[in-house]
Amino acid sequence: MDGLDDIVEEFLVESHENLDQLDSDLVALEQDPNSRERLSSIFRTIHTIKGTSGFLAFNRLEEVTHVGENMLSRLRDGELDLTPTRTSVLLQMVDSVRSLLTSIEASGGEGPVDVSGVVAAITAAMEDAPAAPAAVIPAPRAAPAAKKAPAAKKAPVKKAATAKTTARKATTPRAKATAPAAPAAAPLDDAPVAVLADELPETVDVHPVVDAFSDHAEESEAAPAASGDGQPRRAVADSTIRVDVDLLDELMLLVGELVLTRNQIVQNVARQTDTDLIRASQRLNLIASELQEGVMKTRMQPIDHIWSKLPRVVRDLGLQLKKSITLEMEGRETELDKTLLEAVKDPLTHLVRNSVDHGIETPDERRKAGKPAEGVLTLRARHESGQVVVEVADDGAGIDPAKLGAKAVQRGLVTADALTRMSPADILQMIFLPGFSTAAAVTNVSGRGVGMDVVKTNIESIGGTIEVESEAGRGTVCRLRIPLTLAIVPALTVECAGDRYAIPQISLQELVSLDAEKAANAVEEVGGAQVYRLRGELLPLVRLTDVLGLTSERHDGHVVIAVLRSEGRRFGLVVDRVINTEEIVVKAVGGQMKAIGLYSGATVLGDGTVALILDVQALARRALRTETTDRQDSQKAAAHAAAASETERQRMLLAAIGGGRRVAIPLDTVTRLEQVRTDSVEKVGNREVVQYRGAILPIVRLDRHLGAYGESDREVLEVIVYADHGRSVAIVVEEILDIVDGEAAIRSDIDDLGLLGSAVLGDKVTELLDVRAAILAADPAFYNTPAIPAQMTPEGATTSLLEV
């Protein structure tokens, strides 16, 4: 066994803490036997341990907690009174649980701990109702012991705990090495023996409680000494500390303030000349950043934390339902605030169970549908636009909107009339209505009509959203969007009508700045809506001033576009100017601001002014007409279809070669783009070369080669360094234009020397360069002979280059 399973480890940490609490609770309970609250708390703790141990297949642990739970539930319900006897058997139960946990931690198994004694004792104590005369005999014997127990307990238990802790320290590494032999772990060190041995008699027999405790105390004292020279490796429970999330929140707030203050200082110091001050401010800058990162990290946990439990859920459920399912996970390292992580745990588990139960079909059905028998359930997590997007996708039967609609009508959730007016996507969202379940049969997994609405409520309670997409026969995707509140986010600050606004960097794709002349040509109108051609794709433009009902202060015709992406849609936000990128702290705004639905919050900028943070999603929803969405959807669908039908799409580099001609070069073979001064071009025979990274790079001028006429008197040449099969060559073009997705399909075979053909790329006819041929045509001898004079190329590297 390689270390403890994560789940087991977590269970141990949690249980140890709970047990410490339990000890004091039980003792306190004896003073105040009627405290329902305390009883309930104890009950919950034991119940939790029982539940988890059952899940993890620790049977003895389950057994002992089970009887304990029985007794506690009767105590809680007032069916039994808490007598000292019962308190002491409960304490014994706690001790057995503790020794079982110790053994589990040391060896991964329950080891030799025997629980039958304590189980019997508890059962006996439960029968031992005050009215029952049969119980009179054992009671007085047990009672004095128990009376002394609390007193004895208070002191030794603490020591025992220490002893156990140190014992764990001492044994863990060795135990791991020798595992899985649990008994073998015991003789390795005195400490565990002490712990196990003194608890065993006590658990077997109710009466010698006091003796056992005194032993316990002595041996416990010995234990630290024994482990004094022990290994320094920390035990599971000691390597972490629990910190109140509130405290972390507070720290986070303070760090946020520090970051803002830092921004202000850095901004002010930039105007100073005092070098010491500047240096100090730089250090402050660095330290504040690191501190910020550190504090953020304390709250962040990879989503794997909750995902790691899912393979088992899927496996067990799959077996139970006789389905064969592979679980795939993408983005398991995506980090999420701890609080949010906890909040999505249950909804996510539910979605996964749902997918397994309803989504993925049985192997037979799948085969009939022409799909592989094994279903695939995919979990994806990623950061998008300041949110964490978590998807649960299956390749199952999907949801049929027609069936779903009929069901909804049948359940009276919607009228038949209303249904006809709903789009398929809207119909799908009805699965989130309370009281909706589409499962034909109620299984014990799901289908009771609670679930999706609860999932939705849970997600929305943390400010997230959930949406479902499904294609009948192809599968279903449930997408959760979870906000990253509290976070310090990098943002772009822009100016609009004299005010500054912050745009979370995560929604920002690129910035485009057009001068008046270019803007006049490049910004076009389509049916009253402004668009910009961004690399051939129409980018809908949204003027921030229009959205906000303000008047732009920019009158020089320049257009600054922030290209944003929201929910898969891309649009350009036109702002007056771009100011800066800055780390901002998201501050909550009052309810009135939220109700506007355009701002996700506000922040304080470096100079102390308040800036509103734009909610890009809301902005997109508000500003983009539905038709734009539809069009983009159909485009996306077309793109999908294209991608499915032919995988030949290629990224192409577009370059102008003069004379208005454009060529495309496959991007995957372009090593880099360089600029070369014309005066560094040297001649070798009638060929041009340039020194490049210690090698000699032959140059091909495309304009000459393809018969275009370019300007030959440029000072700087734009060069595409092209590598093919380990050989390199520099291709000189007039201007690098763009990178586009080339569509192999629209090639025409109008070709010319040095061309593969032509295609429409970015709405213009573009020549597809045959690189090999181009070089050949320019210099046929170049490929055949390693003809470059040897004196030019002493290095081996060049030789290979010349073999091109």
Binding residues (CB under 8 A) for other proteins: these are 257, 260-261, 499, 548-550, 587-593, 596, 598-599, 601-604, 608-612
Rounded CA-CA distance 359/327 in Å is 13
Shortest Å distance, C-beta 565 to other proteins = 23
Helix (H) or strand (E) holding 384: strand 375-384
Coil, helix or strand at residue 557: coil
Rounded CA-CA distance 181/269 in Å is 65
Rounded CA-CA distance 85/405 in Å is 61
Place of tokens 């997408």: 479
Q: How many CB atoms lie within 10 A of CB 792?
A: 12
Shortest Å distance, C-beta 618 to other proteins = 11
For other proteins, the closer of residues 402 and 588 by Cβ is: 588
Rounded CA-CA distance 722/549 in Å is 50
Q: Angle, nearest 10°, between helix axes 6-31 and 84-107? A: 160
- Residue 219, judged by CB atoms within 10 A of its CB (0-12, 13-18, 19+), counts as buried
For 802, the token pair is 């010349």
Shortest Å distance, C-beta 528 to other proteins = 22
Rounded CA-CA distance 380/304 in Å is 11
For other proteins, the closer of residues 576 and 734 by Cβ is: 576
Shortest Å distance, C-beta 571 to other proteins = 19
For other proteins, the closer of residues 15 and 263 by Cβ is: 263
Shortest Å distance, C-beta 412 to other proteins = 37
Rounded CA-CA distance 496/548 in Å is 9
For 595, the token pair is 């109700």
Shortest Å distance, C-beta 259 to other proteins = 10
Sort strands 537-543 and 529-534 into parallel, antiparallel or unpaired: antiparallel
For other proteins, the closer of residues 491 and 534 by Cβ is: 491
Shortest Å distance, C-beta 589 to other proteins = 6
Sheet arrangement for strand 508-514 = 508-514, 559-566, 569-575, 537-543, 529-534, 523-526
Shortest Å distance, C-beta 498 to other proteins = 9
For other proteins, the closer of residues 409 and 547 by Cβ is: 547
For 471, the token pair is 């294609």
For other proteins, the closer of residues 257 and 646 by Cβ is: 257
For other proteins, the closer of residues 89 and 602 by Cβ is: 602
Shortest Å distance, C-beta 409 to other proteins = 39
Q: Are 142 and 207 in contact (CB under 8 A)?
A: yes
Q: Are 387 and 618 in contact (CB under 8 A)?
A: no
For other proteins, the closer of residues 453 and 499 by Cβ is: 499
Coil, helix or strand at residue 472: coil
For other proteins, the closer of residues 261 and 443 by Cβ is: 261
For other proteins, the closer of residues 251 and 593 by Cβ is: 593
Buried b (16+ CB within 10 A) or exposed e, 233-269: eebbbeeeeeeeeeebeebbeebbebbbebbebbbeb
Shortest Å distance, C-beta 584 to other proteins = 11
For other proteins, the closer of residues 573 and 604 by Cβ is: 604
Shortest Å distance, C-beta 761 to other proteins = 41
